Structure 1
Amino acid sequence: MEMVKENKVDILGHPQSSAPVTTTVINIRSETAVPDHIIWSLFNTIFMNWCCLGFVAFAYSVKSRDRKMVGDLTGAQTYASTAKCLNIWALVLGLLLTTGSIVLLVFVYATAYSVVLKSMQENNGYH
C-alpha cells in the first residue's frame, strides 16, 4: 500500500501577488569531529616510547587539538593524521621491541643458568 503525501504548496498553487519571491538561506555549520588521538598518544608516550615516537605523536595530537580550537579544521586533520600514523608506528615498534627484549632476556637467562649449572657440576666432579 503506497501512501501519497501532498505538499501544501501543491495544494495552494503559486502565489497570486506580483511581488518578487525572496528566499532565505540559513547556513548551519555542522561541527565535524576531528579525532586528535590524544589519549592514544598519551598511552604511547608513557608505555610504548621506543625511539621517542610516543612523545612526538603526543606533540602532534596537541597541535591538532590547538588547530581545532582556533577553527582550522584542515590543519587539525593534517596534524591528527600524522599523530595517528606515529601512534601506529609507536605501538607496533613498542610491541615488537618489548616482545623481542623479553625473548632475549629469557635466552640470556637460560644460557647463564646452563653455564652456572655446568660450572657447578665440573667443580663438584673434581673434589
Structure 2
Amino acid sequence: MDNHSYSFPSDCAPLTPPGQSGRKGGSTVVHMSDTRREPRDYLVWSLCNTLYVNFCCLGFMALIYSIKARDQKTQGNLVLAQECADKAKWYNILAAGWNLLIPLLLLVVLVLLLIHLGSQGLQGSQGSFDFFGEDGFQNFLKLFSW
C-alpha cells in the first residue's frame, strides 16, 4: 500500500487544537553529575620511591601498579584502575616507610654508638677506640655489652 493513497479515518481527532503544537518554547536539559571521580595513579610518588633506596623493590612494585592504573584509566576501566591505584598507594606507603625507617635506625645506632664510645672514653678504659688492633673484634663486641 502506498502512503499517498492511504487516507486517514474521519473519526480521528488531533490532540491539540489546530495551529498550536504540543511543545512549549524551550527544551529540557537534565544535568547529571558523575559521582565517581577518576582514581589517582600516584606515578610521581612511585618514581620517587623507586629511585630512592627501594627496599625489597617496593617502590618498583608501586611503579608497576601506578602505570597499570594510568593505563586502565585511559582505557575507561575505572574499577580496575581504582584497584591498581589502591595497590600502588599501599606499596608507596610501605616503601616510604622503609625509606624513612632505615636511615633513622642507622642514625639512632650511630648516635648510641657514639654515646657509648664517649662514656667508655670518660671512664678511662683502654682500647675502646682500637677496632683494628689485636683484640679489635673483642673490643668492638665490648661496646655493645651494657
- Do they fold alike, i.e. is TM over 0.5? yes
Name the Cα RMSD after superposition.
3.5
Match of 1:52 among 51, 57, 61: 57
What is the CA-CA distance between 1:94 and the residue it aligns to? 1.8
SS at 1:116 equivalent: coil
What percentage of residue pairs aligned between the two structures are identical? 36
TM-score (norm 1): 0.62
Consecutive unaligned residues in structure 2, runs of 5 or more: 1-14, 122-127, 131-146
What is the CA-CA distance between 1:49 and the residue it aligns to? 1.1
Aligned to 1:73: 78
Aligned to 1:92: 97
What is the CA-CA distance between 1:102 and the residue it aligns to? 2.1
Cα distance in 1 between the residues matched to 2:66 and 2:110: 34
* Number of matched pairs: 102
What is the CA-CA distance between 1:48 and the residue it aligns to? 4.3
Cα distance in 1 between the residues matched to 2:31 and 2:68: 28
TM-score (norm 2): 0.55
Match of 2:129 among 116, 122, 125: 116
- Deviation digits for residues 62-113 of structure 1, max 9, x if unmatched? 0100111111111100000000011111111221122102222344456678
Mapping for residues 4-83 of structure 1, pairs under 5 Å: 17=16, 30=34, 32-83=37-88
* Higher helix content, 1 or 2: 1
Whether the 8 Å contact between 1:60 and 1:82 is mirrored in structure 2 is: yes
Cα distance in 2 between the residues matched to 1:51 and 1:105: 23
Higher relative contact order (CA 8 A, sep 6+): 1
Consecutive unaligned residues in structure 1, runs of 5 or more: 1-15, 118-127
User: Deviating runs (4+, > 6 A) in structure 1?
Assistant: 18-21, 23-29
SS at 2:129 equivalent: helix
